[in-house]
Amino acid sequence: MNRRYAIAAAAFAALLLAVTAAKVLHVPISYVPWAAPSARAVEQRGPLSDGEKATIGVFESVSPSVVQVAVRSAANPLMGEEGQGGGASGTGFVWDRGGHLVTNNHVVANGGEIAVRFASGEVAEVDLVGRAPNYDLAVLRIRSVRELPPPVALGSSGDLKVGQSAFAIGNPFGLDQSMTSGIISALKRRLPTHGGREIANLIQTDAAINPGNSGGPLLDSAGRLIGVTTAIISPSGSNAGIGFAVPVDVVNRIVPELIRNGRVPTPGIGIVAAGEDVSTRLGLEGVIVVRTAPGSPAEGAGIRGVNMSTGAVGDIITAVEGKPVRRLSDLTDALEQAGAGKTVRLTVKRGSDSRDVNVGIIDIERS
50-264 CATH pick, 3.40.50.300, 2.40.10.120, 1.10.490.10, 3.40.50.2300 = 2.40.10.120
Average pLDDT of the chain is: 84
How do 343-350 and 315-320 pair as beta strands? antiparallel
d(CA 115, CA 127): 9
Q: Global pTM?
A: 0.73
Cβ atoms of 225 and 153 closer than 8 Å: yes
- For the purposes of burial, counting CB atoms within 10 Å of the CB of 205, is it exposed (0-12), middle (13-18) or buried (19 or more)? buried
Mean pLDDT across 257-274: 91
Q: 63, 89, 106, 206: which is the annotated catalytic residue?
A: 106
Check if 106 is active-site. Answer: yes
d(CA 117, CA 119): 7
Mean pLDDT across 287-295: 93
- Which residues fall within 8 angstroms of residue 201, CB to CB, at 6 or more apart? 157, 187, 188, 189, 190, 247, 250, 329, 333
The CA dihedral of 71, 73, 76, 81, to the nearest 10 degrees, is -40
Cβ atoms of 246 and 258 closer than 8 Å: no
Mean pLDDT across 281-288: 90
Long-range contacts (CB closer than 8 Å, 24 or more residues apart) made by 5-10: none
Mean pLDDT across 198-213: 86
Residue 84 pLDDT: 45
Backbone angles phi, psi at 326, to 5 degrees: -110, -20
Mean pLDDT across 277-293: 90
Judge: domain 267-363, CATH 3.40.50.620.
no
Residue 81 pLDDT: 43
Q: 50-264 and 267-363 share one CATH topology?
A: no
Q: 63, 214, 279, 296: which is the annotated catalytic residue?
A: 214
Residues 84-121 pLDDT 10s = 444 578 999 999 999 999 999 999 988 889 999 999 99
Residue 86 pLDDT: 42
Check if 214 is active-site. Answer: yes
Residues 140-196 pLDDT 10s = 999 988 889 999 999 999 899 999 999 999 988 877 889 999 999 999 887 766 555
Cβ atoms of 252 and 226 closer than 8 Å: no
Percent of the chain with pLDDT over 90: 55
| Res. 12 pLDDT band, cuts 50 70 90 | low
- Per-residue pLDDT at 246 exceeds 90: yes
Mean pLDDT across 296-315: 92
- For the chain, the domains span 50-264, 267-363
Residues 23-49 pLDDT 10s = 545 545 555 566 667 888 889 888 999
Q: 63, 65, 100, 136: which is the annotated catalytic residue?
A: 136
Residue 80 pLDDT: 46
DSSP character at residue 154: B
| Res. 330 pLDDT band, cuts 50 70 90 | confident
